[in-house]
Amino acid sequence: MLRHSLSFLVPGRTLRLLAVSLAIAAAIGFSFPPESVSAAPASASQEAEAAEYELDTTTLHMGTVVSAKLLGKTPEAVKRYAELVESEVKRYDDMMSVHKETPLNEVNRRAGEAVPVTPEIAEMSRMALKIADETGSAFEPMIGPLVNLWKIGFGGNEVPSDEAIKKAIELVDHRKVRVWEDKGQWFMQIGKGQNVDMGAIAKGYIGQKLAEKLVVAGATHGLLDLGGNVVAIGEKFPGQPWRIGLQSPDKERGSYFAVISAANESVITSGAYERNFEKNGRRYGHILSPVTGRPVTTDIASVTIVDSHGARADALCTALFAMGWDKAEAFLRAHPEVHAVLLKENLEDALVSEALRNKIQPYDSNLRMHFIEQQGS
């Protein structure tokens, strides 16, 4: 189902015109907070030149709410962008969902065989394998057997037996995966009994590709939210970046510990505070370790990555969260191209890449930000 809300924007009057749109966005879980606007009123000529139409659209695919704030010079333009969002998200859902018959799910069904796949699946899978190597499997795209065993976030509320976990671990190894091209056709092959799970990279990849499609279609600025994976297209207005709220793990949705200014990049956050279950007084999060076969034990509450490559940002969020504070800090020091915000489990200390110093604004008065110098940053 696709829902639209159309508004007419003029700089200097944004707050009044966006009131309804922001209320809708908050209701569906958009990750950016309302902004106070204090710009001086624009002249009639400036208004005529700068005025735009905004369309807020919401659809449900891939088991998540996909929201978009789309801007354009005409109602026809923003409607065209909205239709593009709907068609592309559906196309990727039909291509990559593991909950129905799709080309990616066919790889799992025919584990051990060479299976034809789309160029998009091949590209995403090659990225996933590369990041798995770089992170020592802290991000592991072949985590599927463990995900299917625990089912956290999909109705699972029981701790599997040690024997079942051990059997599943034996199948978790991205080094057994091959992706190659032959005469213009891409193929993918996983090991027998294996199960690929791109849940920790797919939304980031799709968001990035969707933004690229919108830009080609003529969009110059807008905001996409794929279940909390946010992509900022251009700036909100010239000289005014989008402001993306970073969710406080211990508070209700819409409460932020900090805000990131973003333009032409993805802002993706990962944590175990939304998908988990409790058993015998212990909480089990959805991010699983390929080594222990159990939810990771970490001293990090959440990880946010700011990157122009959405797929990389998505995968690295999971990896750094799984690493824990010390290993994640060491990884960041060795990888200056990765810009991150790590919130410690005490919810008071945040490790922030120096490159984000001028982009981050604390919202929690108790937050202590520690900026980290990265080699070559």
Taking the C-alpha atoms of residue 241 and residue 33, their distance in angstroms, rounded to an integer, is 13
**pLDDT at site 153:** 79
Starting at the earlier edge strand, list the strands of the sheet with 185-189. 115-117, 185-189, 178-182
Average pLDDT over residues 190-206: 96
Instruction: Match 């990616």 to its residue by tokens.
Output: 104
pLDDT digits (tens, 9 = 90+) for 80-137: 999 999 999 999 999 998 788 999 999 999 999 999 999 999 999 999 999 999 999 9
pTM for the full predicted model: 0.86
Above 60 in pLDDT, residue 31?
A: no
Domains located in the chain, CATH noted:
1-96+201-240 (no CATH), 103-189 (1.10.3980.10), 263-377 (3.10.520.10)
Q: Please, are residues 346 and 248 in contact by the beta-carbon 8 Å criterion?
A: no
- Given a cut of 60, whether residue 43 has pLDDT beyond it is no
Residues with Cβ < 8 Å from 199, sequence gap 6 or more? Answer: 147
Q: Give the confidence band of 155 by pLDDT, cuts at 50, 70, 90.
A: confident
Q: Report whether 295 contacts 285 (CB < 8 A).
A: yes
Residue 218 CA neighbour count, 13 Å, CB half: 12
Rounded mean pLDDT of 65-85? 94
By the 8 A CB rule, do 97 and 203 touch?
Answer: no
Q: Is 269's pLDDT higher than 50?
A: yes
pLDDT for the residue 5: 63
Is the per-residue pLDDT at 8 higher than 70?
no
What's the count of helices (H) and strands (E) in the chain, helices before strands?
10, 18
Residue from 138, 132, 162, 136 nearest 149 by CA: 162
Q: How many CB atoms lie within 10 A of CB 264?
A: 15
pLDDT at 28 over 50: no
Specify the pairing of strand 52-61 against strand 3-9: antiparallel
- Whether residue 76 is predicted with pLDDT greater than 70 in this model: the reply is yes
pLDDT tens readout for residues 282-329: 887 888 999 999 999 999 999 999 999 999 999 999 999 999 999 999
d(C-alpha 354, C-alpha 211), whole Å: 26
Ligand-binding site membership of 200 (annotated): yes
Instruction: Name the least confident of 87-91, 230-234, 235-239, 280-284.
Output: 280-284
State yes or no: pLDDT of 156 exceeds 60: yes
314 annotated as a binding-site residue: yes
Report yes or no: 22 and 31 within 8 Å, Cβ to Cβ: no
- Strands in 256-262's sheet, in edge-to-edge order, are 242-247, 256-262, 360-362
Whether 295 contacts 152, CB under 8 Å: yes
Residues 228, 203: Cα–Cα separation, whole Å:
9
